[in-house]
Structure 1
Amino acid sequence: MTFTPPKHIVSAATIVLNDNGEILLLYGPRRGWEMLGGQVEEGESLTAAAIRETKEETGIDVEIIKFCGIYQNVERSICNTLFLAKPVGGLPTTSPESLDVRYFTVEEALSMVEHNNFRERIVHCLDETTHPFFVEL
């Protein structure tokens, strides 16, 4: 009997709100305007991954404020965790993963994010009455 390691993907995403209530978004080469986040590395905590991915993609250092919830895509074996965060340092900087990095009002951000599932996740994170949420796809 051979052991086959699991092929699950776990990601950590942040909704970063500044003191003006604006959301930090990045403009990526594949998906346009989107929230920040990426895959959790082996041996890394969810919050550490969320902080690292935000810094790598945007140049912004963040502090995690709270855990918002989880989206699970059962068919594709993907588990996306979402956190609310606030900026604590750094300057908006582009990277190979981001062609542009900017803060937007919530209204502007929701109108600019093209992917419905990303918009839905932002709305869920901003609505504290839904926390913690679990959405199974």
Structure 2
Amino acid sequence: MDNPRHDIVVSCLVRDATDQILLIRHHKRGWEIPQGKVEEGEGIIAALHREVREETGVMIEPGPLACVWSKLSPPTALVFTFIARHTGGALQPSAESPEVGWFPPVEALALVTHQVTRDRLLALLGFAGTVTFRTYTTNPYQVHTTDRPE
């Protein structure tokens, strides 16, 4: 493969001052954490700020990178998932996310039913200070590795 191409995606677990989790409702995937593609010429952290603001109306303070997901099936992607804190702004639905809200962790897990996004949320909720790496394919969804070399 001479010129491999991957979409670069950022995703974020945002908590407010009461530790509730910010979720958006996507038209196809249902409830999920904010996420989106990094645009050409844009840095990862700038994309994280932009995606969260566009999808929810709120501003964040990014914290640690928690997990990197490698999607091997087309369209291939590298998904960088972060932990962040809400710093301001009011919830504002968008064309991409017709509903947004703050939820306690148990309720958030119950709402997120799409397996890929649920696994991302679980990985972020389980963050223990060390970046984890996951490799997966879709159709059917299957996680192939978790921090171990193949």
**Do Structure 1 and Structure 2 share a fold, with TM-score over 0.5?**
yes
CA distance in 2, matches of 1:56, 1:116: 24
Find the counterpart in structure 1 of residue 95 from structure 2: 96
CA contact (8 A) 1:125 1:131 kept: no
Q: What displacement does 1:45 show?
A: 1.4
Task: Say which structure is richer in helix.
Answer: 1
Measured in 2, the distance between the counterparts of 1:128 and 1:29 equals 28
> Which consecutive unaligned segments of at least 5 residues does structure 1 have?
none
TM-score in terms of structure 2 length? 0.84
Question: Which residue is 1:107 aligned to?
Answer: 106
Residue 117 of structure 1 aligns to a residue whose secondary structure is: helix
Q: Secondary structure at the match of 2:110?
A: helix
> Which residue is 1:56 aligned to?
54
How many residues are matched? 134
**Structure 1 residue 131, shift from structure 2 partner:** 2.6
CA-to-aligned-CA distance 1:71-97 (integer Å, 9 cap, x gap): 001232211110001111111001100
**Matches of 1:24 and 1:44, distance apart in 2:** 24
* Between 35-44 and 123-132, the greater mean CA deviation after superposition: 123-132
Who is 1:28 aligned against? 26
Per-residue CA deviations over 1:17-65 (Å, capped at 9, x if unaligned) read 1111110001121111111010001111111111110000000011101
Aligned mates of 1:14, 1:57 — CA distance in 2 = 12
In structure 2, the partner of 1:121 is 120
TM, length-normalised to structure 1:
0.92
Number of the residue aligned with 2:143: none
Corresponding residue for residue 142 of structure 2: none
- Identity among equivalent positions (%) equals 32
Show structure 2 runs of 5+ residues with no match: 137-150
> 2:79 maps to what in 1?
80
RMSD: 1.4
